[in-house]
Amino acid sequence: MKSIYDIQQFLKNYGTFIYTGDRRSDLMLMQDELKELFLANLLDRKDFQVATLIIKKEISEIQKKTI
């Protein structure tokens, strides 16, 4: 996974479609879903870590824009 789009496509494979209209909330929900997939052993540690870093980076960029 290299982007938020890749994460969204990955989640779609498991029937998870996330869109609340608020980008930050969407990212947080994606992070929660990834954690659940990881805990269910459907996602390996490396992919989980990479996806988490991508999401955290995006959340950080959103927070910078609002300040």
* Confidence (pLDDT) at 27: 98
Selecting from 3.40.50.10490, 3.30.1540.20, 1.10.287.760, 3.30.56.10, what CATH number does the domain 4-66 have? Answer: 1.10.287.760
Residue pair 14/37 in contact by the 8 Å Cβ criterion: yes
What is the per-residue pLDDT across 47-64, written as a single tens digit (0 to 9) for each?
999 999 999 999 999 999
CA proximity to 35, closest of 19, 16, 20, 58: 16
* Confidence (pLDDT) at 63: 92
Name the pTM for this structure: 0.91
* Confidence (pLDDT) at 39: 98
What is the per-residue pLDDT across 12-49, written as a single tens digit (0 to 9) for each?
999 999 999 999 999 999 999 999 999 999 999 999 99
Q: Is 18 left (phi over 0), alpha (psi -120 to 50) or beta?
A: beta
Residue pair 47/1 in contact by the 8 Å Cβ criterion: yes
